[in-house]
Chain A
């Protein structure tokens, strides 16, 4: 990297330097390095089965990460998504147990997610409360609400609908897990929106400089409001996949999930300051962390090491990114 950076200072940037300047390429290189490293060192790592398994495991963070990244880009944060995972599993499982209908259960869950998104979005965008405080508050309220309602017991999925179970262990063409398919489709759709639709550009504008966005005629409040709704709905989808995977509504579901997603999003180069980053970057961040934890498990390291190493990588990645940015400005 230092070679590429010095080149960009002295001479017109070479092709290589320009390529490396793109965050996504650096991330792809990291991802390949991680995969190559574990393919050599860990047994059974480099197999179609394991690769697709990792993809399935990554689908939760990938789906919720889209929303997290969009809210970050709009200049706000949403740390309520972990509690949301546990909350929306309640209507989902209860309605399915009562009606034996996946469609009704999912609709109920999405409705709950929508309400939570509206509350977060309204309090942030229209009431003007700092989004960290709002989502910290709703995080407490939802987790406490789930504990209250369930009496800290899991509610099992008694309906055992085939279509619901397929969400956890079904595979498209017997290869790619359905959960990963859902995540990829959502990712492609939202990535298209962020890059090529006016609303996507509005989100970048609002996050980059709200005052300028307002003067340009964008409804800053509305944009942020909608971003929170998107985030909650996507976290709802992640919650549905999680509920299918564990076959119940767990009161502890999604504990610390928000931190994992935030970590992956930031690793992917999406800035907390707003206006900077891409969904591709976020997705690469999620995949790097997921392959890393899978590979470390393959090496037989205790799970705690994954936490330690993930923590170090996040700090290192952001520090590196920051150093690069400062050099770009200074040089």
Chain B
């Protein structure tokens, strides 16, 4: 039915006009959440807690920045969680053997970018549906990481620069937050103000039209896959720095959190529609909820239930508003 709704509604109108109000709703939800939680638990607004929330947002936001671009081109990557764990292990192993943060980082980025490249080639050259292709990659990575190491790769040389990657501060701001802000800004500018960004939207909205107008749509999709991979590389290194080890079990369900944040931010799985600013709000809403559950002393298992409800509800609200606007 969703296809019908979309087909019958004028698409360009929705794409242009409603994005703003979709984010407005999300902003209101975020504000209400913050106010409600801080009334119930005043320590919500303490500096330490805000920094904790931002730090938790950073990892998700880094990968979600790439994922937003990818979903805008109407593809999706389910392998990011498995890749996150593998990247952490490889980065840590290289770091241990070379004592160089630069080489460890390079190895992580090369591996994660390689995974993105592989996904992209399978989807664009072999024409495999991206949902299936990345489920396949996810399985290969989940199995592969255990063949690579059965236990956590411990941090042997304790480089300060590496520890700072996850736990360090510049002034009062944690390093992961700065990295996330950087990546987010670059992605935002690319998507919003460059021709490349406009093409990414165009590919998602109508790939055939883009191809007929002489743009290589496969290249654009491939680019989005590699970019998502590289984001996973950065996030994987930060995660292994935070845990002070490369954990093969890390990242279970991470892909779903990232995709949930992107969808919550109003990016359509059908492609061609969405924004990074929405994704930022989506990440914030999910992580504020997570944090609220902890500081209110509620059962932490609610951290799975509430996002589930929020994703469905937010998407439903979006649909209702679309219908009202069309009328």
Contacts and interface: CB of A to CB of B under 8 A. Distances in A.
A binds B: yes
Interface of A: 75, 77, 123-134, 136-141, 143-145, 147-148, 152, 210-211, 214, 220-221, 224, 259, 262-263, 266, 272-273, 302-312, 314-315, 318-319, 322-323, 326
5 contacts: A139-B308, A144-B301, A224-B1, A302-B147, A308-B139
B228 to A, nearest CB: 17
Closest 3 interchain pairs by CB?
Answer: A144-B304, A307-B143, A140-B308
Given A129-B316, A302-B147, A314 B3 contact: no
B220 to A, nearest CB: 20
A314 B305 CA distance: 31
B70 interface: no
B1 A147 contact: no
B129 A305 contact: no
Contact of B316 (A123, A141, A312): A123
Contacts of B137: 311, 315
Nearest to B308: A140
Contact of B309 (A124, A141, A302, A311): A141
Contacts of B142: 304, 307
Contacts of B140: 307-308, 311-312
Interface string B115-153: 000000010001111011101111111111011000000
B128 A318 contact: yes
Nearest to A258: B135
A263 B135 contact: yes
Contacts of A306: 143
A319 B311 contact: no
A77 B316 CA distance: 18
B135 A140 contact: no
Nearest to A124: B1
Contact of B136 (A128, A145, A315): A315
B315 A130 contact: yes
A128 B319 contact: yes
The residue in B1, B7, B144 that gathers the most chain A C-beta atoms within 10 A of its C-beta is: B1
Contacts, number: 156
Nearest to A134: B312
Given A259-B138, A262-B135, A311-B138, A130 B308 contact: no
Contacts of B256: 136, 139-140
A145 B303 CA distance: 10
Interface of B: 1-5, 7, 122, 126-129, 131-133, 135-144, 146-147, 256, 259-260, 263, 269-270, 299, 301-309, 311-312, 315-316, 319
A125 B319 CA distance: 13
B135 A308 contact: no
Contacts of A75: 3
B147 A308 contact: yes
Given A308-B147, A326-B127, 10 more contacts: A132-B131, A132-B269, A133-B315, A136-B259, A137-B309, A138-B308, A214-B4, A262-B132, A304-B142, A314-B136
Contacts of A140: 256, 260, 304-305, 307-308, 311
Contacts of B133: 315, 318
Given A210-B3, A262-B135, A322 B305 contact: no
Contacts of A137: 308-309, 311-312
Nearest to A259: B135
Given A129-B315, A322-B126, A143 B304 contact: yes
A220 B7 CA distance: 15
A125 B139 contact: no
A315 B138 contact: no
B135 A211 contact: no
B304 A263 contact: no
A145 B304 CA distance: 8
A211 B3 CA distance: 9
Contact of A272 (B131, B146, B147, B319): B131
A323 B127 CA distance: 8
A102 B304 CA distance: 31
A263 B136 contact: yes
A322 B260 CA distance: 29
A75 B117 CA distance: 29
Contact of A136 (B135, B146, B311): B311
A94 to B, nearest CB: 18
Nearest to A143: B304
Contact of B299 (A148, A311, A326): A148
A319 B128 contact: yes
Nearest to B320: A127
B303 A144 contact: yes
B302 A314 contact: no
Contacts of A266: 129, 132
Nearest to A262: B135
A39 to B, nearest CB: 24
Contacts of A124: 1-2
Given A137-B312, A307-B143, A322-B128, A220 B135 contact: no
A169 B304 CA distance: 34
Contacts of B1: 124-126, 128, 210, 220-221, 224
B1 to A, nearest CB: 5
Nearest to B256: A136
